[in-house]
């Protein structure tokens, strides 16, 4: 299925008017689909798999801002450390330490979001509030990572009230995060929440960055990867 240009344009103008950043989630989609979105002016793209991201980065325009939105294993940080724009799903101290190490090797500071566990499912990754505070205490010792905000994923459910409650819980944690000293976080902060099915609700609950895939690129065919 080709990129839905009309849908892309209407989502882009909707998000622009609300000052919400669109991360176009291009996982499993061919480079041509990214090029089509790029031609509309889109520069932020999100990928979930390290190898796929590295392959696309090598062949696509170098002014694309690549977001890593998947579950990142520590031993794979080195493959994306030279170029990644923002790592959304930081969910352990070990991973943050490895990102710091690889950023130093590449002589750069890597921007990260801390993933917060808001869904009821056991399988979703992320910190709780107490763990976030433990991470906070470690940040002065990690000068090559810059924590820019939080990321979360709601439960996979049709129950809008439940999704809304989870988003509002994350917004509350984000408000507390914004009280952290600017010496250990970026000045402007990011709340990455909302996907194709729930991005409008997420924005209403305070999100300023949404990760949208299937609404832009069509449904994914994992078998083709």
Ligand X SMILES: *Cc1c(COP(=O)(O)O)cnc(C)c1O
Where do contacts with ligand X occur on this chain (CB under 6 A)? Answer: 25, 27, 48, 69-70, 153, 195-197, 211-215
Cα–Cα distances (Å) from 202 to 12, 65, 142, 158, in that order, read 16, 22, 31, 14
Give whichever of 83 and 125 is closer to ligand X, judged by the CB atom.
125
CB of residue 153 to ligand X, shortest distance in Å:
6
The full 3-state SS of 143-172, as one line of letters, equals: CCEEEEEEEECCCCCCCHHHHHHHHHHHHH
What number of residues does the chain have?
Answer: 225
CA distance 79 to 163: 34
Give whichever of 96 and 142 is closer to ligand X, judged by the CB atom.
96
CB of residue 207 to ligand X, shortest distance in Å:
12
Residue nearest to ligand X (CB): 213
DSSP H helix total and E strand total for the chain: 9, 8
Closest CA to 30 of 6, 2, 72, 67: 2
Pairing of strands 44-47, 65-68: parallel
CB of residue 151 to ligand X, shortest distance in Å:
8
Give whichever of 110 and 151 is closer to ligand X, judged by the CB atom.
151
CA distance 22 to 108: 24
Task: Provide the 3-class DSSP secondary structure of residue 85.
Answer: coil
CB of residue 90 to ligand X, shortest distance in Å:
13
Whether residue 85 contacts residue 66, with contact meaning beta carbons closer than 8 Å, is answered with yes
CB of residue 167 to ligand X, shortest distance in Å:
14
Give whichever of 103 and 209 is closer to ligand X, judged by the CB atom.
209
Give whichever of 142 and 209 is closer to ligand X, judged by the CB atom.
209
Whether residue 185 contacts residue 144, with contact meaning beta carbons closer than 8 Å, is answered with no
CB of residue 160 to ligand X, shortest distance in Å:
16
């Amino acid at each position: 299925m080709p990129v839905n240009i009309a849908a892309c344009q209407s989502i882009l103008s909707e998000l622009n008017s609300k000052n919400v950043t669109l991360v176009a989630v291009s996982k499993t989609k061919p480079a041509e689909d990214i090029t089509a979105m790029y031609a509309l002016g889109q520069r932020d793209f999100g990928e979930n798999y390290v190898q796929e991201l590295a392959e696309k980065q090598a062949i696509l325009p170098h002014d694309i801002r690549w977001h890593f939105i998947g579950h990142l294993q520590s031993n794979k940080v080195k493959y994306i450390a030279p170029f990644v724009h923002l790592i959304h799903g930081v969910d352990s101290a070990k991973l943050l330490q490895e990102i710091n190490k690889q950023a130093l090797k590449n002589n750069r500071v890597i921007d990260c979001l801390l993933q917060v566990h808001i869904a009821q499912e056991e399988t979703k990754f992320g910190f709780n509030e107490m763990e976030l505070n433990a991470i906070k205490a470690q940040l002065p010792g990690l000068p090559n990572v810059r924590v820019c905000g939080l990321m979360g994923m709601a439960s996979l459910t049709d129950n809008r009230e439940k999704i809304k409650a989870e988003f509002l819980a994350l917004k509350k944690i984000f408000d507390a995060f914004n009280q952290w000293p600017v010496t250990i976080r970026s000045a402007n902060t990011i709340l990455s929440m909302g996907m194709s099915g729930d991005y409008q609700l997420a924005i209403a609950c305070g999100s300023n960055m949404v990760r949208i895939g299937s609404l832009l690129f069509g449904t994914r065919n994992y078998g083709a990867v």
